[in-house]
């Protein structure tokens, strides 16, 4: 669902001040204010991130105690263990603190569990650490905030613990020194990743020397999908500059080489470096990734980087297989469920999070996939933007052993025998606390372009880099009808087309080719991109999505009417309802969320109903994800998978044949005959107009303009003539065929409409 930003209440004075003071366009200044910039000075800091603007690490309430305890460990020659997590953030956090402690004078022992050991300070890993290293002090990074029992056990055994973490704060936290940006203890920024928190501790210990590892923290921040605002924007900006300049730590350099990294930005790091660091933990070899980062042997680092690259290739193949198996298991689940929850003993714990995210995108609902070990399920949850999965898990915590995470991603552990009751409780919570709008995935657009999109402005947008969560790359839109899109080259799945305002490219766009080249009015959302080839800059818009909002435009009216006429042979069964019953179904669909498709054939009829604006709307077919309740104007004659209830808000010419439950509001007509005539001279006028143009008509609007007839009359006439073979479509044009004689009554479409008109 596309939402155009409302800029009516923008602070025009502030925008003008920023533009004048910083020498940027008003459009860019407006984008800055939308990103929370409230002054010229804030705008300057946003456009020119500086390490000097990072907060004092001692603003953390626990920082002073942590530093004093670590100093004591150095003075006494104590054994210090750094305990992290197996993902890119955890590995990076261990790396930062391990190397910083070395500079500080402590040769710490880095420990990373494998996924099979479980997340955080598990009992199994505590036993291993105690038996193997006999530590005096354990410092956790990227974990530990919920390890209340484990910390107590360590303290009872004489081991001190410092917890550094960034995950959500549970009801009870460990009784030890805690540094967590979400504690609300006076630290001004709560969006740091685990490596970011470790970096703040490192800064408190060794000062500016910690900047040596800023690129590692930047990779972790991007990999963990942290918001690229505030301190994170500074960290990532500085880290990217370090990588771009060739001064990155050896591990990042080596991984960049084997991955073929060319352009260095937040997006390329997210798709090249981060997955390869994560791949080791996902393939149950997280310590290999850690060794890549803490090794000082160039040959070893290069060898390990190649292994990480191979792991990533294998990870991609195994993810595809897991995805297919998960989708096959969905056949046994109700499409009405508010959450997808599945488990298998065959699934690798390191892959389920990736596949969960993929299924969220496809089905527009929270997804939790579980791996199984010894009767215990270890799950990785992902969610749509409107549903806080951490809050949802908190509501059903009585059925789980452990959980933690963020609003959009979380981990959860439960006993296998509790799976069904957990799933039902989670479904019930989402049913009672969410409405259909929470599950609709919105795409926010800055503006609909009505002039040339300039190369200079596209270059200016680069000032907003680095882009990512919390600072998304601006999206724009153009309106178009027939796009005349073509494959990029023979056999390509990508398509390109030229709009009057910008040249556009749609990756994997072949499935949208028919829609692009139809006469239905479309909103095409794109991301402006500047590329350089042989020293020459060029601008292209990369298409993100296409939407067909209902409207009174000729092409839409024509398409809706033509599809009704083309489906006249459909004689589907249905249950008759009235306006009041249809309204009740609209109301209940607010809470049902999934499985109902509303169809309206005359857009004017929506005025009879309330609350229809809560649903995503499009022409002929839903343009949303999954089977979220939606509304379409007209129909292409097909019911998309996942919808079990079809509600016609007005009565069409014909009802689609389907095994779904179908309801038709017979109280309201969905096919107006007011502007359709079956008179021979009227249809003849359309045929003559087409015949008089040997080159043919490109659009219905041209025929409407030539004949002064309605789009629905044109649709009826064209449907009749195409059925009779008197008009054909060729290369996107309507052309008359000469030398053929037919009677109008030879057309079943003509006979059907004539029988209604009388």
| pLDDT of 471 higher than 70 | yes
Residues of the chain with pLDDT > 70: what percent?
A: 100
Average pLDDT over residues 531-549: 87
pLDDT at 699: 79
**β-strands 137-141, 160-165 pairing:** parallel
Which CATH number among 1.10.1740.10, 1.10.10.10, 3.40.50.2300, 1.10.3720.10 corresponds to the domain 680-757?
A: 1.10.10.10
How many CA atoms, within 13 angstroms, populate the side-chain half-sphere of residue 168?
A: 17
Query: pLDDT digit string (tens) for 248-288?
Result: 999 999 999 999 998 899 999 999 999 999 999 888 789 99
Side-chain-side CA neighbours of 134 within 13 Å: the count stands at 1
CB-based contacts of 224, cutoff 8 Å, min separation 6: 87, 88, 89, 193, 194, 195
Q: Give me the pLDDT at residue 474, please.
A: 95
Mean pLDDT of 334-352: 90
Which is nearest to 273 in space by CA: 323, 239, 297?
A: 239
Residue 730 has pLDDT above 80, yes or no: no
CB 250 within 8 A of CB 115: no
Average pLDDT over residues 133-143: 96
Most confident of the following: 460-464, 568-572, 657-661: 460-464
pLDDT of residue 478: 95
- The CATH architecture that domain 53-310 belongs to is Alpha-Beta Complex (3.90)
Of residues 438 and 139, which shows the higher confidence score? 139
Q: How many CB atoms within 10 Å of residue 401?
A: 14
CATH number of the structural domain 333-434: 3.10.310.30
Q: Per-residue pLDDT tens for 142-176? A: 999 989 999 999 999 999 999 999 998 888 999 99
Report the chain's mean pLDDT, rounded to a whole number. 91
pLDDT for res 228: 94
Residue with tokens 């109301």: 587
One fold for both 53-310 and 680-757?
A: no
What is the rounded average pLDDT of the residues 88-107?
Answer: 97
pLDDT per position as a tens digit, 404-414: 888 888 989 99
What mean pLDDT do residues 220-245 have? 95
- What residues have CB less than 8 Å from 235, skipping those under 6 apart? 54, 196, 199, 214, 217, 218, 221
Write down the pLDDT at residue 758.
Answer: 66
How many percent of the chain have pLDDT more than 90?
67
CA 423 – CA 616 distance, rounded (Å): 27
Distance, CA of 462 to CA of 455 (rounded, Å): 11
Dihedral angle computed from the Cα positions of residues 641, 643, 648 and 652, in that order, rounded to the nearest 10 degrees: 20
Give me the residue spans of the domains in the chain.
Answer: 1-47, 53-310, 333-434, 554-665, 680-757
pLDDT at residue number 696: 74
Q: How confident is the model at residue 6 (pLDDT cuts 50, 70, 90)?
A: confident
The H or E element that residue 313 is part of is helix 298-329
Closest CA to 247 of 199, 203, 211: 211
Q: Is 612 helix (H, G, I), strand (E, B) or coil?
A: helix
pLDDT band at residue 388 under the 50/70/90 scheme: very high
pLDDT attached to residue 318: 93
Regarding beta strands 109-111 and 80-83, do their DSSP bridges make them parallel or antiparallel, or are they unpaired?
A: parallel
Residue 138's DSSP bridge partners are 81, 161
Q: What is the four-CA torsion angle of 152, 88, 117, 151, rounded to 10 degrees?
A: 0
Render pLDDT for 27-72 as a digit per residue (tens, 0 to 9). Answer: 999 999 999 899 999 999 999 999 999 999 999 999 999 999 999 9
> Which residues, 6 or more positions from 282, have their beta carbon under 8 angstroms from its beta carbon?
115, 311, 315, 348, 350, 351, 354
Is the confidence at residue 382, as pLDDT, over 90? yes
| Tokens (6 digits) for 391 | 């809050």
The pLDDT value given to residue 466: 93
Give the model's pLDDT for residue 482. 83
Q: What is the 3-state secondary structure (H, E, C) of 539-608?
A: EEEEEEEEECCCCCCHHHHHHHHHHHHHCCCCCCCCEEECHHHHHHHHHHHHHHCECEEEEECCHHHHHH
Between helix 273-282 and helix 298-329 the angle, nearest 10°, is: 70
């Amino acid at each position: 669902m596309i939402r155009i930003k409302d800029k009516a209440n923008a602070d025009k004075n502030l925008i003008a001040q920023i533009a004048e003071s910083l020498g940027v366009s008003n459009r860019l200044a407006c984008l800055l204010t939308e990103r929370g910039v409230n002054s010229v000075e804030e705008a300057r800091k946003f456009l020119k991130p500086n390490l000097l603007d990072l907060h004092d690490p001692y603003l953390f309430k626990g920082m002073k105690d942590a530093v004093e305890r670590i100093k004591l460990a150095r003075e006494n020659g104590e054994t210090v263990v750094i305990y992290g997590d197996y993902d890119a953030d955890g590995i990076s956090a261990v790396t930062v603190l391990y190397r910083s402690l070395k500079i500080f004078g402590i040769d710490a022992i880095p420990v990373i569990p494998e996924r099979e050991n479980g997340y955080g300070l598990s009992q199994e890993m505590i036993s291993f650490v105690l038996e193997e290293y006999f530590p005096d002090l354990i410092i956790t990074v990227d974990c530990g905030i919920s390890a209340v029992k484990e910390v107590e056990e360590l303290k009872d055994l004489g081991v001190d613990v410092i917890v550094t973490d960034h995950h959500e704060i549970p009801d009870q936290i460990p009784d030890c020194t805690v540094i967590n940006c979400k504690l609300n203890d006076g630290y001004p920024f709560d969006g740091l990743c685990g490596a970011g928190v470790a970096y703040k501790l490192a800064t408190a210990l060794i000062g500016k020397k910690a900047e040596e590892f800023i690129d590692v923290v930047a990779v972790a921040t991007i990999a963990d999908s942290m918001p690229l605002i505030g301190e994170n924007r500074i960290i990532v900006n500085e880290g990217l500059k370090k990588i771009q300049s060739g001064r990155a730590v050896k591990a990042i350099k080596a991984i960049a080489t084997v991955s073929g990294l060319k352009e260095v930005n937040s997006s390329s790091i997210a798709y090249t470096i981060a997955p390869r660091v994560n791949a080791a933990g996902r393939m149950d070899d997280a310590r290999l990734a850690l060794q890549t980062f803490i090794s000082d042997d160039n040959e070893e680092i290069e060898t390990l980087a190649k292994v990480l690259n191979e792991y990533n290739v294998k990870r991609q193949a195994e993810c595809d297989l897991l995805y297919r198996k998960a989708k096959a298991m969905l056949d046994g689940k109700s499409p009405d469920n508010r959450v997808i929850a599945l488990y298998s003993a065959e699934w690798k714990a390191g892959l389920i999070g990736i596949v969960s995210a993929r299924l969220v995108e496809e089905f527009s609902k929270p997804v939790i996939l579980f791996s199984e070990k010894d009767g215990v399920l270890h799950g990785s949850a992902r969610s749509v933007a409107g549903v806080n999965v951490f809050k949802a898990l908190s509501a059903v915590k009585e059925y789980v052993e452990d959980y933690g995470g963020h609003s959009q991603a979380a981990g959860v552990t439960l006993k296998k025998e509790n799976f069904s009751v957990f799933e039902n409780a989670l479904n019930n919570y989402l049913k009672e606390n969410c409405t259909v709008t929470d599950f609709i995935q919105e795409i926010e657009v800055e503006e609909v372009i009505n002039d040339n999109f300039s190369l200079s402005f596209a270059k200016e947008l680069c000032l907003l880099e680095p882009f990512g969560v919390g600072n998304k790359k601006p999206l724009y839109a153009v309106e178009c009808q027939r796009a005349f899109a073509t494959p990029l080259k023979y056999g390509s799945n990508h398509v390109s087309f030229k709009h009057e305002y910008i040249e556009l490219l749609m990756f994997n766009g072949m499935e949208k080719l028919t829609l692009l080249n139809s006469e239905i009015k479309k909103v095409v959302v794109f991301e402006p991109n500047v590329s350089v080839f042989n020293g020459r800059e060029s601008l292209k818009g990369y298409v993100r999505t296409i939407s067909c909002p209902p409207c009174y435009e000729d092409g839409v009216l024509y398409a809706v009417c033509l599809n009704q006429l083309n489906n006249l042979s459909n004689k589907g069964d249905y249950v008759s309802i009235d306006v009041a019953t249809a309204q009740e179904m609209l109301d209940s669909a607010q809470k049902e969320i999934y499985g109902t498709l509303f169809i309206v054939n005359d857009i004017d009829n929506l005025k009879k109903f309330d609350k229809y604006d809560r649903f995503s709307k499009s022409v002929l077919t839903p343009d949303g994800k999954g089977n979220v309740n939606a509304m379409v104007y007209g129909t292409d004659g097909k019911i998309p998978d996942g919808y079990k209830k079809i509600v016609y808000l007005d009565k069409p010419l014909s009802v689609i044949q389907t095994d779904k439950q179908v309801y038709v509001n017979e109280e309201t007509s969905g096919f107006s005959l007011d502007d359709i005539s079956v008179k021979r001279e009227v249809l003849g006028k359309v045929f003559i107009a087409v015949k008089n143009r040997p080159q043919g008509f490109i659009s219905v609007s041209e025929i409407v303009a030539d004949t002064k007839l309605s789009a629905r009359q044109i649709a009826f006439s064209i449907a009749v003539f195409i059925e009779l073979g008197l008009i054909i479509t060729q290369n996107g044009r309507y052309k008359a065929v000469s030398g053929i004689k037919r009677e109008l009554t030879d057309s079943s479409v003509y006979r059907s409409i004539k029988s209604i008109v009388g």
